[in-house]
Amino acid sequence: MFAGLGRAVIAVAALATGAAAEAVVTPWHVDAPWFGGFSGIDLSDDGRDFIALSDRGYLVAGAFTRTADGAIAAITVLDHAPLTDTDGAVLQGPMGDSEGIARAEGGTLFISFEHQPRVTRQMGLHGLPEILPRHADFGALPRNRALEALAVDSGGGLYTLPEGGGPVYYLGPGSRDWQIIFHLPTDGQGWAAVGADFGPDGRLYILERAFRGIGFQSRIRSMTRDGTDIRGEFTSAMGRFGNLEGISVWQGKDNLVATLIADDNFGRLLPSQIVEIQLLTGE
């Protein structure tokens, strides 16, 4: 547990409406060798329980203690475990470059990987993984810009896309064939897709980041599951946050909340932090 959390409240622009959204930043640190490099996060429907994924093949389950207004007051680690191969051996090196996480009903975890592009399925933190079928494109993806983002819809369908954007791959429940369901539009401004999640409104939320030379800039866009009705939800100022790579969208007291997690690269130059943003689209 990390006690005595400091919080900063920052105004960011919600592009869809021009309204001001509040971003609450909570630093997070655990003095353990496995801590750091977080690239994905998945929250429970009430925003209290979470599973975080590092890009070195590690899962962390925890809980947020929240104040009456919903702000994070403390973070407790409940369990942690390394990812393994299908025989139970701990993943090493490029095989452990895990980037995206999505949790389905019943506790099934889906995980996407970058250097060796694939998606796996396992039951809980300690389950043995099953490697799902691959799309023919996966093997040709750039090793450092492959399957970065992963989401599961309410019907159990999987969506994944490479960091460079472009095709969004869909695997239906029980299917063995990925389909390209749509292409994520790009605008030539250096944005890279790094996280995805379906909100309780059924929309697909995609977290993107851009490196601007001296710091990161982040934005969230949402869309229907077929890639239409794209909305800008928010864009941060350059350098306002760390390297945000994971997103989970849930229903807060008054608005949808996007919980984001930053990758510190296991170093001291970048912060490890949780950022929560009230999504005010439509108000």
Quote the mean pLDDT of the chain: 91
- What would the pLDDT profile of 192-205 be if each residue is shown by its tens digit? 999 999 999 999 99
Cα–Cα nearest to 219, from 254, 183, 266, 187: 187
In this prediction, residue 282 has a pLDDT band, given cuts at 50, 70 and 90, of very low
pLDDT at 3 over 50: no
- What would the pLDDT profile of 14-24 be if each residue is shown by its tens digit? 333 334 467 99
Cα–Cα nearest to 60, from 276, 272, 279, 278: 272
* Proportion of the chain above pLDDT 70, given as a percent: 92
pLDDT at 238 over 70: yes
* Count of helix runs (H) and strand runs (E) in the chain: 0, 21
Q: Please tell me the predicted confidence (pLDDT) of residue 280.
A: 80
The domain segmentation of the chain, as residue ranges, is: 40-64+78-252
* Proportion of the chain above pLDDT 90, given as a percent: 83
pLDDT at 213 over 90: no
Q: Which fold has domain 40-64+78-252?
A: Neuraminidase (2.120.10)
Is 151 within 8 Å of 158 (Cβ atoms)? yes
Is 50 within 8 Å of 248 (Cβ atoms)? yes
